[in-house]
């Protein structure tokens, strides 16, 4: 009985609160530059909310590509567009072409970065389409771990180093393991 009285008491208290108390207006920031007094604050996206990166590096297939797939060096080229929610979070849209086997990865997913200046560590998980010649379209996952360096007057140039295994699902297709391991560098710009 006491539990029900507490619940209904809390509901009545919330209903009695004026709506204006729930939504506060944006406040001011008073004081010296860099300080944050009051309800306001500073936005910390020095380089902007959008970035574009060129990726390149090694791409090693766990097993040889299927017969009939394009033959090439164990390299890949890619492009990543990112929407920055804040300096610690971004949403990546990436595409990569693996030369050995002709695989095309079209992936999207979040990446989380540590606070650190100018060097940050990152961890992410992307999902999307992995197109493997002679096998076809597969859904895939690509966890990523890396580090990046922000340089320039406004921290607008990005240099990065990362590792990501591309895992098509199911992993075993026609008796072979189709996981590709990518170790890559990136060079980008925040707009």
Same-domain status, 81 and 168:
yes
Same-domain status, 21 and 76:
no
Same-domain status, 22 and 65:
no
What are the helix and strand counts (H, E) for the chain?
2, 10
Same-domain status, 111 and 145:
yes
pLDDT band at 79 (very low <50, low <70, confident <90, very high): very high
Q: What is the dihedral of CA 180, 182, 188, 190, to 10 degrees?
A: 70
Write the pLDDT tens digit of every residue in 6-55.
656 666 665 656 544 545 555 555 555 655 555 555 555 566 799 999 99
Q: Are 160 and 145 in contact (CB under 8 A)?
A: no
Same-domain status, 186 and 98:
yes
Same-domain status, 5 and 73:
no
Same-domain status, 67 and 95:
yes
Same-domain status, 56 and 85:
yes
Write the pLDDT tens digit of every residue in 81-128.
999 998 889 999 999 999 998 999 999 999 999 987 789 999 999 999
User: For residue 97, which phi and psi values (nearest 5 degrees)?
Assistant: -115, 120
Same-domain status, 184 and 131:
yes
Same-domain status, 64 and 147:
yes
Question: Distance (Å, rounded) from C-alpha 112 to C-alpha 90?
Answer: 7
- Provide mean pLDDT across the span 55-60: 96
The answer, yes or no, to whether residue 70 has pLDDT greater than 90, is no
Residue with the larger pLDDT of the pair 40 and 159: 159
Same-domain status, 36 and 91:
no
CATH number at residue 97: 2.40.160.20
How many beta carbons lie within 10 A of that of residue 90, not counting itself? 21
Whole domain around residue 85: which residue ranges?
50-190
Q: Give how many domains the chain has, as a whole number.
A: 2
> Angle 175-178-181 (CA atoms, 0-180°, nearest 5)?
150
Same-domain status, 85 and 177:
yes
pTM over 0.85: no
């Amino acid at each position: 009985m006491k539990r029900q009285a507490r619940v209904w008491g809390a509901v009545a208290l919330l209903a009695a609160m004026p709506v204006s108390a729930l939504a506060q207006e944006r406040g001011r920031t008073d004081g010296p530059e860099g300080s944050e007094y009051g309800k306001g604050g500073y936005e910390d996206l020095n380089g902007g909310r959008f970035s574009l990166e060129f990726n390149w590096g090694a791409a090693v297939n766990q097993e040889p590509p299927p017969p009939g797939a394009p033959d090439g060096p164990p390299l890949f080229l890619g492009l990543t567009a990112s929407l920055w929610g804040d300096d610690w979070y971004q949403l990546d849209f990436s595409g990569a072409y693996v030369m050995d086997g002709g695989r095309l990865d079209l992936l999207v997913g979040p990446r989380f970065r540590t606070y650190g200046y100018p060097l940050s560590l990152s961890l992410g998980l992307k999902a999307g389409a992995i197109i493997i010649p002679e096998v076809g379209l597969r859904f895939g996952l690509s966890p990523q771990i890396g580090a990046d360096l922000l340089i320039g007057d406004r921290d607008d140039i990005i240099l990065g180093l990362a590792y990501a295994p591309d895992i098509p699902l199911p992993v075993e297709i026609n008796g072979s393991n189709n996981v590709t391991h990518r170790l890559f560098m990136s060079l980008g710009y925040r707009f």
